[in-house]
Structure 1
Amino acid sequence: MFAEGLINRPPIRGRIVRRFCKPLGRRGVAATEFALISIPFFIIVIGCMEVAWQLATGAALDHAALRASRYGITGSNTPPSWQTTGQENVPTCRSQNIIWLVTQSTGGMLKVANLTVTTAAWPNVSGAGTGTGTQGAGSGGQIIAYTLTYRQPFITGLVAASLFGGDSFTHQAFLMVKNEPFENAAC
């Protein structure tokens, strides 16, 4: 009788394993699915952040180009006083002020080290856009072309570099305006 009870009983080790190690069933499925989906999901999120940053940079450059060209057509060698209040090292030449105004009108988003501003002047509308024109902000009544080029480094590093190639994105803004008839000499 005693021997029959031992034969029908499972071994002690088996009882301990069953008691403390329940069958998994579907346990861990959510963690596994998250592990599989998280990498592409985070790459997409980081890519969206990078695209948003580059779009903001492009919009800031366009805004800065508009502000700089509106200042440049007036012929004034000093920017408006409301723009220079509390600022140090404000340039006194219109050509230099155009670059200064580009960086100031973006709230520090654009850095001078990555910015290139070129201006070309033509005497009248018929010659505008042909050839290279003369360098500078021009004199009264001339047609001026502003070309702003900005190299914005990626904020997400290797992820953006692998998605978009390179280590930065180049933005460009172009405007062509006619200077007001002013008497100031170009500096």
Structure 2
Amino acid sequence: MKARGPHRPLAPFARMLADSRGVSAIEFALVGPVVFILILGTLEIALDMFVDASVQLAAQAASRVGLTTVDPASGTRADQAKQIVMATLGRWQKIGATVTIATLDYGSYGNVGTSNYTSDLGDFGNVVSYNITVKMPGFSGIPQLLGVSTLTFQRNYIVQNEK
């Protein structure tokens, strides 16, 4: 009869620790979600910057309409400014955005920031504020994870109409 050696109860665990099969899967399971969230976050920021740039372009284009004080062939200057803004920002409404356009005629620079204004594009030489706001949910859901339910993009332009 052959004598047995010393009993090693941890031998199976030692073999598992020495076995490197499946290490890649475990590493991917640990790192994959972090990388996925970083990619989604990067895409979210890029799309948000694109929306912000389109709000900027829309506000600049609308303020140019008011600067000239030339009435269009059909409609009013306010209608024309709204059409220009919606041509740029209307695509965001398709994904749940709300677009708000407000024009305030202060008359002169001294009245800017006071309650002394009317809601139109003003006359020759008047100082007008163009306020464009876009409110929308995030694209990827990451802002909602961070507690931000609505993203707000806003531009305010104050210009003096041509004399």
What SS does the aligned partner of 1:135 have?
A: coil
Distance 1:111 1:77 in 2: 28
Match of 2:75? 92
Q: TM-score, normalised by structure 1?
A: 0.70
Q: CA deviation at 1:109?
A: 3.6
Q: CA deviation at 1:77?
A: 3.0
What SS does the aligned partner of 2:42 have?
A: helix
One-letter code aligned to 2:151: F
Q: How many residues align?
A: 148
Written as runs of structure 1 = structure 2, the 5 A alignment for 1:1-187 is 25-78=19-72, 92-105=75-88, 108-111=90-93, 114-157=98-141, 159-166=142-149, 168-181=150-163
Gap regions ≥5 residues in structure 2 = 3-15
Gap regions ≥5 residues in structure 1 = 8-22, 80-90, 182-187
Q: Percent identity?
A: 29
The alpha-carbon distance between structure 1 residues 76 and 153, as it changes in their structure 2 partners (threshold 3 A), is farther
- Comparing 92-101 with 33-42, which one deviates more in the overlay? 92-101
Match of 1:20? none
Two-structure CA RMSD over aligned residues (Å): 2.4
Q: CA deviation at 1:156?
A: 1.1
Q: Is the radius of gyration larger for structure 1 or structure 2? A: 1
Q: TM-score, normalised by structure 2?
A: 0.80
Q: CA deviation at 1:164?
A: 4.6
* Alignment check: 8 A CA contact 1:57 1:109 kept: no
